[in-house]
Amino acid sequence: MRVRNLFLRFSARFVNRRPGLLLAALCLAACVAALSPAPVEAASTGSAAEAATASATPTGVSTGSPSAKDSVGKDSTTKAQHEAQREAEIQREFAAQLYYERLDRLNAVAWPLVSANEALCRQRGKAHPSLGLVADSFSRRANRQWFQALCALWGVGADTAVITGVMPGGPAALAGVRRGDVLRSAGGKPVEPSGRPGELTRRLDELAASGPVVLELSRAGEPAPVTVTIAAAAPVCDTRFTVVVGDAVNAYADGKSVFVTYGAMNLYAKDEDLAVVLGHEMAHNILGHVRQDASGKAVGTTTPQQETEADAVGLYFTARAGFSVKDAPRVWRRLAAQDPAHISAGGDHPSTAARFLNLGAVRDEILMRQAAGLPLIPRPRVGPGQ
């Protein structure tokens, strides 16, 4: 700016003396003006100049300035994070699908056990009516990082009750209830969601105690709601079954429920072998070997004598449910092969060697009674060989 002003004053004096050089002076002044820096203006958000610059610079292309390079790096990192988050959701959806597939298998094996042995359970005051279904609802608070995967798997939104399991041959299945049906109402009243596992299922079973239950359902592919009437509940043993994620081979009871890990379900791929394990754990609940404190937490441990009794009574449960028990003792050989530490006795469980022999004796007793047409009523046992 200073150079241009000096030049203009000089040009004026010079042109007054030599008018013929006016055009040349003007041209030179224009050149100086073009070379002078433009005045600085206050920055404005969303200006036309910025919009033009933004539209002329492709996303992800460096302009050569440090700030542009930083932006490119940040954009790349953000994109990678989004892709990783999306892949994490896909993996959670796959994991959720696998979980419910395993739960379906568990329910298919467990339902004959709880229904065929209801008379024995009722004698101990441990039976209840059941519709033969499992209902759940999902919320961000209760399900946290699994919320989106569960909603995507079942095609529902938050706090929507959905049928996640139907027991083969149970009242709900016979009435036409399907896995994936959305519960609109039960007994003429809207279904309130619950964040507590098993709570919705318990509520529905309680409705069945007073008579037929009418369910209004939304079903994929059906334009209008579907109404299903379950005429009567089925009396079953008071034990529920749950899948536990993990490769450890384990199954345990807490007095009201039976928990089975992925590892145990993988080891016992045959349903008749899995039924032996479930029958054993259910026997712990029915025989009162496990108790819960006021908070519902299982307390105390079982004794070797109680484990032997649960082996025997549980095998009767398995046979009464229609499963073959011919090869039942092999469950202990398979466990011993998986974890040799169980071969020797120790702790609150007998050795797998002793359990194999004892269960073989119970198996022979059951087969004899079946051949003779005698009822399968387990006798009390408190120790090996008794």
User: Which pLDDT does position 49 carry in this prediction?
Assistant: 35
* Distance from the Cα of residue 257 to its chain's centroid: 18
Look up residue 294 and give its two tokens.
């006021």
The fold of the 81-116+127-237 domain, in CATH, is: Pdz3 Domain (2.30.42)
* Bigger pLDDT: 26 vs 365: 365
> According to the CATH classification, is domain 240-372 in 1.10.8?
no
Q: Kindly list the domain boundaries of the chain, sorted by start residue.
A: 81-116+127-237, 240-372
Percent of all residues in the chain with a pLDDT value above 90, rounded to a whole number: 63
User: Which pLDDT does position 210 carry in this prediction?
Assistant: 84
How far is residue 230 from each of residues 65, 222, 272, measured CA to CA in Å? 72, 20, 30
Is 62's pLDDT higher than 70? no
User: Which pLDDT does position 381 carry in this prediction?
Assistant: 59
Look up residue 89 and give its two tokens.
């959701």
How far is residue 183 from each of residues 104, 108, 131, 207, measured CA to CA in Å? 19, 22, 14, 14
Return the DSSP state at 349: B
What are the DSSP calls for 195-247, one per residue?
A: SSTTHHHHHHHHHHTTS-EEEEEE-TT-SS-EEEEE--PEEEES-EEEEE-SS
Nearest to 216, CA basis, from 161, 169, 168: 161
CA dihedral 122, 108, 259, 376 (to 10 degrees): 40
pLDDT confidence bin for 245, thresholds 50/70/90 = very high
pLDDT confidence bin for 344, thresholds 50/70/90 = confident
Is 45's pLDDT higher than 70? no
**Amino acid (one-letter) located at 296:** G
Using CB atoms within 10 Å of the CB of residue 283, give its burial: 0 to 12 exposed, 13 to 18 middle, 19+ buried: buried
Look up residue 264 and give its two tokens.
């145990």
Contact present, 207 and 253 (Cβ < 8 Å): no
CA dihedral 305, 106, 324, 355 (to 10 degrees): -20
Give the integer Cα–Cα distance in Å for 248 and 263. Answer: 5
What are the DSSP calls for 101-153, one per residue?
A: HHHHHHHHHHHHHHHHTHHHHHHTT-EEEE-SEEEE---HHHHGGGHHHHHHH
Q: Is 323 in a helix, a strand, or coil? A: coil
* Distance from the Cα of residue 204 to its chain's centroid: 21
Is 53's pLDDT higher than 60? no
pLDDT confidence bin for 34, thresholds 50/70/90 = very low
Using one digit for the tens of pLDDT, what is the confidence trace for 315-340? 999 999 999 999 999 999 999 999 89
